[in-house]
Structure 1
């Protein structure tokens, strides 16, 4: 069903990520020329030893990672690659459960048919059904029913529990307890149109969701299952659409993406105070060629991977340099989703033709200051830091209010088109 192509060297532009590997789908003849071949979702397993992508036509392929290990090239190991036929187009997928960040956050006892140490894969289908698979056995475990539209996003929180969060075009989010086979479910309602993306904070206290057409960014409590607040950034006179969101690994920032006319932008928020911290903007010459499909923070929180219509991948360093690398313009096979490897250094992007590309992303050793902030902000909110008797410079650094002035947001009365990076 798939083939690999190693890319040793490609032409560099200022500067360009190296394309290190590409998976190309080999479709059965009956699928040739048919619509529905898009790779809508990709994901690495929590330990980084498996990779899954929806290759179109209701098929999900799961392969052992790394793909180019010496043993696998020599045929000395049974890789155990698997394909899952879901029966309907797959729009979202996620591995789980995600291990807790600390040993103190031990997961609860797991009951059959989900046993301890099982690696699960959740797939969200076009008909609203969520299928749960056991990756190691290749068997379907059970189905979750309730959504009445396309299941666009699936997330396992990073606390080791068998909790699954889904967002759908039926305007709702659902929180499923997989130990009860999904019989206990919490429904979060409030969006007025499609939910295009959702994300969970690292401390598992908040869920962020963005509505594509209602232009709402909502924050929900994962502890009380209630609406907390919405994020707004002032008046905009031009029509825009929201597309994606992601929490930073320490939970102290939330990135949301939008596009309109001849530009797209990324807003960086403090989810605790609803304050907008910075904005990254890029303008285009061609009107309408600027949709952002996906965004994700790197595991160390230093970079943002962005997939947009005109390029397969861009990588930004928001706090210092802005954009640090981008791929060549590629309108024939542009990306629509992305996922970082848990150890960083590699970004996978899915394309509209059902293929997957793996890019070598920046590997930067974080500074001691960043590591201290990273650890502190994982467990301490902005409201808890602000009263501390700290020098202003340190306080601004800990609360991510030290972005360069050129990245600061304009006042609500200013036009978005004049913002530049």
Structure 2
């Protein structure tokens, strides 16, 4: 893999990253309002640039076939891009829709979006219109994820002192009300992800928080199965599910932590590496 040059520093100092499984391409959104596409086995320079947002780009979602890219920004705008040409083919703006995250629904033309206005929107990318909105939450929604089967959406909120700080499960097939809530963090829950099926025995999800903890939850009951405190890591900013028993956790103060499930007794997370 070619090592990224000075311009490539944007990738690591940027606001968001996303990739497509089975592809060598990944995308980075930077504080300089640009979005770049990189080839893991290509040149040092970015393979494509996407220019057009007026403020920080805070959401990235790429279609499963890697032909379309959807971006969201603090400029209240979503843009749909043609990946090959780098051209914006459509845009839509909603007042006060300060995007916090985007997630493509597997196998569908829909994208879920969270926002600082506390509304969770589901966009139809074919016409770049809101197809439905989930019931508004009391606190800002910071992050979202969609299950592998495309049926469920997970969001999480900001908060302090245990107020807010929850994650919420929604059924995208009927969006009248939440399915389950996961409460236990004492500060903003910054990231939430579905974990691959298998190792845990039942459907599970994970959350990370500014309170320096990572929690694993049973999806159906909301029971907390494991709680790991990363001492000295500072606020935890994001999670990525890897293998069935492996999770990557990014922190503000101590880089990235690799976590694994220890199944020798009860299911529990343990840190195995940091970098």
TM-score (norm 1): 0.55
Q: Secondary structure at the match of 1:187?
A: strand
1:243 matched residue in structure 2: 142
1:171 matched residue in structure 2: 76
**1: CA distance, partners of 2:2 / 2:215:** 29
8 Å contact from structure 2 (residues 24, 39) kept in 1: yes
1:302 matched residue in structure 2: 203
Uncovered stretches (5+) of structure 1, i.e. residues with no partner: 1-79, 100-117, 364-421
8 Å contact from structure 2 (residues 215, 226) kept in 1: yes
- Residue by residue over 1:243-262, the C-alpha shift from the partner in whole angstroms, topping out at 9 and shown as x without a partner, is 11111111111111123342
**2: CA distance, partners of 1:304 / 1:157:** 23
| Cα gap change, 1:362 to 1:172, in 2 (>3 Å) | farther
- Does 1:90 pair with 2:11? no
**1: CA distance, partners of 2:88 / 2:245:** 38
**2: CA distance, partners of 1:332 / 1:354:** 5
- Residue by residue over 1:53-98, the C-alpha shift from the partner in whole angstroms, topping out at 9 and shown as x without a partner, is xxxxxxxxxxxxxxxxxxxxxxxxxxx47345336531111223x4
8 Å contact from structure 2 (residues 190, 208) kept in 1: yes
- Does 1:147 pair with 2:48? no
**2: CA distance, partners of 1:229 / 1:222:** 12
Superposition pairs for residues 205-224 of structure 1, below 5 Å?
205-212=109-116, 214-224=117-127
CA RMSD of aligned residues (A): 2.5
**2: CA distance, partners of 1:84 / 1:298:** 33
**1: CA distance, partners of 2:248 / 2:158:** 22
8 Å contact from structure 1 (residues 268, 276) kept in 2: no
**2: CA distance, partners of 1:352 / 1:293:** 12
8 Å contact from structure 1 (residues 280, 322) kept in 2: no
- Does 1:356 pair with 2:234? no
Uncovered stretches (5+) of structure 2, i.e. residues with no partner: 264-275
2:169 matched residue in structure 1: 268
2:272 matched residue in structure 1: none
8 Å contact from structure 1 (residues 339, 348) kept in 2: yes
**1: CA distance, partners of 2:222 / 2:131:** 33
Shift of 1:186: 2.1
**1: CA distance, partners of 2:154 / 2:3:** 34
Shift of 1:325: 0.8
Q: Secondary structure at the match of 1:276?
A: coil
| Cα gap change, 1:154 to 1:344, in 2 (>3 Å) | farther
**2: CA distance, partners of 1:307 / 1:344:** 18
TM-score (norm 2): 0.82
Higher strand share: 2
Shift of 1:358: 0.7
- Does 1:187 pair with 2:86? no
8 Å contact from structure 2 (residues 59, 72) kept in 1: yes
1:229 matched residue in structure 2: 132
Higher helix share: 1
**Which has the higher Rg, Structure 1 or Structure 2?**
1
Shift of 1:349: 0.9
- Residue by residue over 1:186-207, the C-alpha shift from the partner in whole angstroms, topping out at 9 and shown as x without a partner, is 2232251421111111122211
Shift of 1:316: 1.0
- Does 1:339 pair with 2:240? yes
Answer 1 or 2: higher relative contact order, Cα 8 Å, separation at least 6: 1
